[in-house]
Amino acid sequence: MRIDHYGEVHADISSLIEREHLMDVLGTGLPPEKYNFGGMSGGPMLTVVEHKGIRGWRLAGVIYDGPNPSADPAQWIDGLEIIKARRADFILPDGTLDKSRYESMRAPRRNLIAELHKRLVLGSDRDASRAPALQG
């Protein structure tokens, strides 16, 4: 798996499972595509770090959502298996989420989504208060 970064600061981490890079380290075979990864929430998402030529592992985040196939085959997109995690630097020493910092990172994204919705659905000269409610 690889975590791509495009220069933006995100409150969450999304990692696409790239099956061509998976390795069968236990010798039991790889899980098939559309495998239900239920139960991985709360587990660690690790990242490889390198410092002065030495590589190691570091906690990147805590998994909150994994690829779980839909019961409706029309809802599944082949090859799109994504694991989502909350960034580790949002976790306070007592294990709770720094909600104010987390929400401050999400606010610009919600504003962008609302602006795009206003332009695409309503047209730029229409009143956004008349638009259907958005989830963000």
pLDDT per residue, tens digit, the chain (136 aa), is: 444 444 445 678 888 888 899 999 999 999 888 888 888 899 999 999 999 999 999 999 999 888 876 777 777 777 788 898 988 888 888 988 888 877 777 665 555 556 665 666 665 544 444 444 444 4
- Indicate if 37 and 55 belong to the same structural domain: yes
Instruction: List the beta bridge partners of residue 51.
Output: 54
**DSSP secondary structure code for residue 34 in this structure:** T
Q: For the chain, how big is the Rg over CA atoms in Å? A: 19
Answer yes or no: are the C-beta atoms of 68 and 38 closer than 8 Å: yes
Number of domains in the chain: 2
- Indicate if 83 and 109 belong to the same structural domain: no
- Indicate if 6 and 57 belong to the same structural domain: yes
- Indicate if 35 and 80 belong to the same structural domain: yes
What is the strand order of the sheet 54-65 is part of?
A: 12-16, 82-87, 54-65, 44-51
- Indicate if 81 and 109 belong to the same structural domain: no
Domain that holds residue 69: 1-92
Tokens of 9: 């600061």
User: Which is nearest to 61 in space by CA: 37, 94, 85?
Assistant: 85
Alpha-carbon distance of 50 to 52, in angstroms, equals: 7
Alpha-carbon distance of 86 to 61, in angstroms, equals: 5
